[in-house]
């Protein structure tokens, strides 16, 4: 069963989900959940009373997220909150035995990420991490076709934009989870060598903008060059895999989101499902709840992503890597 063809659409389940965080990204979850059969958004928790206006009719609203995850009325909860609070919120969900889908990055340091992984293992409760592009049908097709490529693979990615400039995370932690998660998920290994440097740092009013160039080397010989951040000139989301016998190009902003090329460079577009990645992530979460699954690979990927980003950050001189403000 692939993502987008999941049990909740055909089962008798009527899952009651909660959403913590109703900002710009949380609003996207509201839209995704509103169109799913067998699922309803039962509760939204936000510390901003103004968020009540974004809550659909018939959905409960509260400013008390702790009470929301412990009230026993929900089948699962989505956390669309800043990463600095993910640890405490996921721990509260685990204490309530509540399945949770948490936005990327899982945490902002490896120790906290490993603590969540271990707590989830002990409790037997489901924790999933939404690295959105990993749930993309185009990226899923890329992974399937990459098995035909001759190792070692060479990965190149460019992802980011000019801004946004957030108070809680810099460009590395805001955009880096996308590129790193796709790379680690594709290769199936954690890097043995990591190096990062700041490629550009915008001046003037964009002083917080940064573009990071990261190079990763893997045990099996694969290598990756990843460029990401909020200091790019324009919006980009490109992920390319190259090998001696062909290449694959995922461009999320193009009409043809996946191009497959043979060893002579001749390319053709690959047909993919039109279901949006965020909807596919929600469907995967609902399917895991319905099937009673207690573990998911996305959690272990989420930990590996945080650890890798931590290593990239450690390799960059502090003076050239602006901290979150």
Query: Residue 300: helix, strand or coil by DSSP?
Result: helix
Question: For 249, phi and psi rounded to 5 degrees?
Answer: -125, 115
Mean pLDDT of 240-250: 98
Q: Is 277 helix (H, G, I), strand (E, B) or coil?
A: helix
Do 33 and 72 lie in a common domain? yes
In a domain, 303, yes or no: no
Residues 60 and 193 in one domain: no
Residues 184 and 314 in one domain: yes
Which of 130, 26, 32, 131 has the alpha carbon at shortest distance from 80?
Answer: 26
Tell me, yes or no, whether 227 and 120 share the same domain.
Answer: no
User: For the segment 94-104, what is each residue's pLDDT rounded down to a tens digit?
Assistant: 999 999 999 99
> 2 lies in a domain?
no
86 and 35 in one domain? yes
Q: How confident is the model at residue 53, as a pLDDT?
A: 84
Q: Are residues 314 and 216 in the same domain?
A: yes
In the chain, count H helices and then E strands.
8, 14
Mean pLDDT computed over 169-196: 96
The reported pLDDT for the residue numbered 319 is: 47
- 103 shares a domain with 20: yes
Least Cα distance to 22 among 63, 83, 71 occurs for 63
Check whether residue 77 and residue 204 sit in a common domain.
Answer: no
244 close to 263: Cβ distance less than 8 angstroms: yes
Name the pTM for this structure: 0.92
Is 242 a domain residue? yes
Domain extent, residue 173, equals 134-273+308-320
181 located within any domain: yes
Among 46-55, 127-136, 174-183, 274-283, the range scoring the smallest mean pLDDT is 46-55
- Give the mean pLDDT of 116-136: 97
Residue 159 maps to a domain: yes
Q: Is residue 1 part of a domain?
A: no
Query: Do residues 83 and 169 touch, judged by C-beta distance below 8 A?
Result: yes
Task: Reduce the DSSP state of residue 4 to 3 states and report it.
Answer: coil
| Same domain assignment for residues 13 and 125 | yes
What CATH number did the domain enclosing 218 receive? 3.30.360.10
Answer whether residue 238 is part of any domain.
yes
Largest CA distance in the chain: 60
Return d(Cα 171, Cα 325) in angstroms, integer: 12
pLDDT of residue 7: 46
pLDDT band at 257 (very low <50, low <70, confident <90, very high): very high
183 lies in the same domain as 163: yes
Q: Domain holding 35: CATH number?
A: 3.40.50.720
Count of domains observed in the chain: 2
Q: How confident is the model at residue 29 (pLDDT cuts 50, 70, 90)?
A: very high
Note whether 95 and 181 are same-domain residues: no
Write down the pLDDT at residue 146.
Answer: 98
81-98: average pLDDT:
96
pLDDT (mean) for 108-127 = 97
17 in a structural domain? yes
Is residue 127 located within the same domain as residue 140?
no
Distance in angstroms (rounded) separating the CA atoms of residues 89 and 298: 18
Cα–Cα distances in Å, from 127 out to 60, 92, 268, 289, 303?
23, 12, 37, 10, 11
């Amino acid at each position: 069963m692939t993502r987008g063809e999941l049990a909740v659409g055909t089962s008798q389940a009527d899952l009651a989900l909660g959403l913590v965080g109703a900002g710009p990204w949380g609003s996207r979850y509201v839209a995704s959940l509103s169109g799913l059969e067998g699922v309803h958004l039962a509760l939204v928790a936000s510390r901003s009373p103004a968020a009540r206006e974004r809550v659909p009719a018939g959905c409960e609203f509260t400013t008390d997220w702790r009470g929301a995850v412990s009230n026993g009325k929900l089948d699962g909860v989505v956390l669309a909150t800043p990463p600095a609070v993910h640890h405490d919120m996921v721990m509260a969900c685990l204490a309530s035995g509540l399945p949770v889908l948490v936005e990327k990055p899982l945490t902002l340091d490896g120790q906290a990420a490993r603590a969540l992984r271990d707590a989830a293992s002990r409790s037997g409760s489901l924790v999933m991490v939404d690295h959105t592009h990993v749930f993309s049908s185009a990226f899923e097709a890329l992974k399937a076709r990459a098995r035909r490529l001759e190792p070692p693979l060479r990965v190149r990615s460019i992802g980011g934009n000019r801004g946004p400039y957030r108070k809680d995370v810099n460009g590395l932690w805001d955009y880096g989870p996308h590129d790193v998660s796709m790379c680690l998920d594709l290769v199936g290994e954690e890097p043995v060598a990591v190096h990062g440097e700041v490629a550009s740092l915008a001046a003037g009013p964009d002083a917080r903008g940064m573009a990071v160039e990261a190079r990763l080397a893997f045990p099996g010989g694969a290598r990756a060059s990843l460029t990401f951040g909020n200091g790019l000139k324009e919006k980009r989301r490109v992920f390319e895999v190259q090998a001696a016998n062909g290449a694959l190009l995922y461009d999320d902003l193009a009409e043809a989101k996946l191009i497959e090329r043979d060893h002579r460079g001749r390319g053709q577009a690959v047909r993919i499902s039109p279901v949006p990645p965020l909807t596919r992530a929600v469907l995967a979460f609902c399917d895991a709840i319905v099937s009673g699954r207690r573990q998911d690979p996305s959690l272990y990927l989420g930990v590996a992503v945080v650890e890798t980003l931590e290593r990239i950050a450690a390799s960059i001189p502090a003076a050239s890597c602006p901290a979150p403000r």
